[in-house]
């Protein structure tokens, strides 16, 4: 799975489906199709989006994947910011982050009280909430498993934006609780051995790797197609 992103955008400008005739949006729709084909024999309800190291574009990718999945008819999608150490989803969708995932996990709020609507039809977000002192413990708690079950009852698909695999244990914990993982790789920057270490980390978590998403791949004009 390969896509190219031009200069950095902020806020809702990062969501490709909001821009008419967006090449990036079409590329994410292709990625969506590839993910669906890779799990054709399973009922894919949850996807983890992660990377090997910081700065590879995992949060951008998680947001855009959630947006293109939400475009499918009768597909109610929840994007969860599970990067409790450096959350960004609230900035991307320009929503508040006063309460969120951490509040639900410690029992201070319910899922229905913390989920927020986005400008995209059928797409909702659960922001990270206040930064906790023990992110890994919260994500591995029984409350997290209960929350995922609750999400399945209310949404067709949930996409988790997690911390990088090689930085902290959080992503491995989540990978074990989700149906599949997408590994974002920064083209021309991330070393092969680093990607292989991340792949090994997913395998050690008994996670299903749906595929790798190559971010910021430079493309020749001849590789672009339009009609």
pLDDT digits (tens, 9 = 90+) for 115-151: 999 999 999 999 999 999 999 999 999 999 999 999 9
- Measure CA of the first residue to CA of the last residue in the chain; give whole Å: 21
| pLDDT score at 106 | 97
- Can you name the CATH fold of 17-220? Rossmann fold (3.40.50)
User: Of 146, 180, 147, 149, which is closest to residue 162 (Cα–Cα)?
Assistant: 180
Report d(CA 118, CA 124) in Å as an integer: 6
In the chain, domain spans = 17-220
Nearest to 101 by CA among 117, 79, 122: 79
Condensed to tens digits (0 to 9), the pLDDT of residues 176-209 reads 999 999 999 998 889 999 999 999 999 999 999 9
Take residue 158 and report the two structure tokens written for it. Answer: 């949930």
């Amino acid at each position: 799975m390969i896509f190219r992103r031009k200069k950095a955008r902020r806020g809702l400008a990062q969501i490709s489906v909001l821009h008419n005739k967006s090449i990036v949006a079409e590329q994410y729709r292709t990625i969506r199709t590839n993910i669906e084909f890779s799990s054709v024999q399973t009922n894919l309800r949850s996807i983890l989006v992660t990377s090997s190291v910081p700065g590879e574009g995992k949060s951008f990718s998680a947001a855009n994947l959630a947006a293109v999945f939400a475009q499918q008819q009768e597909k109610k999608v929840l994007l969860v910011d599970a990067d409790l150490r450096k959350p960004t989803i609230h900035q991307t969708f320009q929503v508040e982050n006063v309460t969120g995932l951490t509040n639900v996990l410690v029992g201070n709020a319910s899922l229905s009280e913390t989920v927020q609507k986005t400008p995209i039809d059928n797409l909702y977000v659960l922001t990270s909430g206040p930064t906790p002192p023990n992110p890994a413990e919260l994500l591995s708690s029984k409350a997290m498993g209960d929350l995922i079950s609750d999400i399945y009852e209310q949404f067709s698909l949930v996409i988790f934006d997690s911390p990088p695999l090689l930085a902290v244990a959080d992503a491995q914990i989540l990978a074990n609780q989700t149906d599949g993982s997408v590994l974002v790789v920064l083209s021309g920057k991330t070393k092969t051995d680093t990607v292989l270490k991340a792949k090994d980390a997913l395998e050690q978590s008994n996670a299903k790797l749906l595929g790798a998403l190559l971010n910021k791949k430079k493309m020749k004009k001849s590789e672009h197609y339009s009609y």
